[in-house]
Structure 1
């Protein structure tokens, strides 16, 4: 038996209700290795997904030969939408792969995919080529986030599962911070994308150290004995799962629309506020502030969801996102240092919201369909998001032509990007409604 196998401990099993045990109880060296592997995967997810947002103004301007808002805005919308469509497809596809072939295999395939095409994006010569690379990058990123959250939920001790997943999702936001740091140090967007290919090295660590979860192995064996497939869409869409699928999809969909149609556009919004002034590093610095604050929010989500429940945390974080968006996008007509702390405030609530959804969704579904169902909920809302983001550029053009900033918000000095971002931030209200009707899972074991 190898040294790695010796480290392995049994996966998380349901605990007796009311057991008085310290929340750190049962955590072994193997659990920590699983966490490190998943956390590294998440940090590179966040980095590679955010590189495009930070590099957007310079990349699109170079590839199109124009810095005009009427050119950059729509094309940036198209590239972002195509990326999100890839993310959606990857989340659903790799959810099925995770249920059929295993969580670790799914992680490895997804990392190779997004790392390879992030690096190749740095070689593109047209925005169409860039869009293709971003689609395939999104395919891998969507798959990786499903894989790491499902895997850790099944392996980690039940008592501290919510806290562990909450801290795990800090990895994505730490990746956002790294993307901002890369942009601050390397002004060339191509170099930034080449750095984004480094996550491929993580595959070696995963292949050598991590084993499939006992829960998945046992569920697969049971399905073989009963001649039932380990992952089947007919099972996924049974009436008993319908409510959870709808609630999960709408709740996370509200976050996605608000996030990608507002926060992801902050670099372009900042550039619009600056006009021709500034040092050129403001976009990267703001992204770093957002990433750091979101890390704190993600880390707090597990504690909050164990304190006030999963549904209460989703509702509070969604309302926080909406109010912070109003403060940021409707409260600034010129760039000042206050933008940094306001971006950080929005990042904090987004971190809480993102993390609690990754805690909540795996708790709604049984093992045989857990990855498929989680992938479905995390990504079906991404189709709506991709459509919404696709029209952000057109909305910006309409706001500019119709002077909607003055007519709706009585402030002609507001940035068109900011007005559009706030209008889409209203989607956070959808998450509030969904959580209100959702099933509370706090304190309950994972469904078998």
Structure 2
């Protein structure tokens, strides 16, 4: 059932983005009296799941869910209909329209993508408000879960002050900001220290498959046991570990450090069980582990324990507009920085590029409209940015040639556009194979 829910969210989001993107091309084409021969959700290689002709346009659903398209008459596109281009230009064809009209038609898709993302963020701000952990409420600092951060000098208990010179107000922004950062300033024991991040910082994240760089510090609460654990009789689920061999334990990140000192030993410990402190014995293995998985606290429960304070802001519809717009701008800028990292081989960020499986995995296993719209908004931004890349066969490639025509007054020949389209397809196929090949590789070696 979980896989069905994930798949349903994935296909619904993908379908929504494709249809609206193609509508962005379709509507201005119709306004400029340009004939649209096909409007398809998914690709109809060899056959269609559904099709119906209304007026001059065939509307349909293909069987290959790798995207969608509109086929505009008199345009060299993915259909590579060179026979049509050999005929005399007709007034209803794309090639017969003024360059400025063709430019608007080509920019329509990405324009809709960006508008959709901003509208979603505005709507989410209005309906769900804004709930977050104020960074200054983490009185005992953060839990550093990533070895490269530790090697760079950051420690659990550090309080993040700023990332690349920008003060960190909200803890939920730490992850994305740190992905593209060069420098982090932390407060340690009242003294500020500068942490310089290595150039291949992102490469390490990909290779080590870390999901979080830093987290709020959490207490050690027993959530389960490994199969080979020898502490199943000593501990119970929901036990709070409060001390080990007389050493006070407040947070989970302290346990690993303490237990390493007692490898292959049986040591006394105290746990809080049903509100009562209970003395137990812990068996520590050769690796300094006790075979226990921690319980994952949700934010509300963690707040009740006094670990941090959740801030909740509610907005009217009018107030939601600037907040939602700023959220969209932040996501757009953040994605642009990530693309810059991917384009720099020395960072190793290209190893984290994923295809359709990576997108599928982002969706939760339980239905959540809040998560669905948040993911869809980000995917819409990603789709808009990717389509603006100056690669022939993408909207950005067509825009590039149209801008050349408008500036120079010379239109590239149909033969040149055919060659450019072919080159663009080769590049796109190579990128598609690389991204989905990364998915396959990561599935084989394990996540």
Please give the range of the TM-score, normalised by the shorter of the 2 chains.
under 0.3
| Greater relative contact order (Cα < 8 A, sep 6+) | 1
Structure with bigger gyration radius: 2
More helix per residue: 1
TM-score of the aligned structures, taking structure 2 as reference length: 0.26
More strand per residue: 2
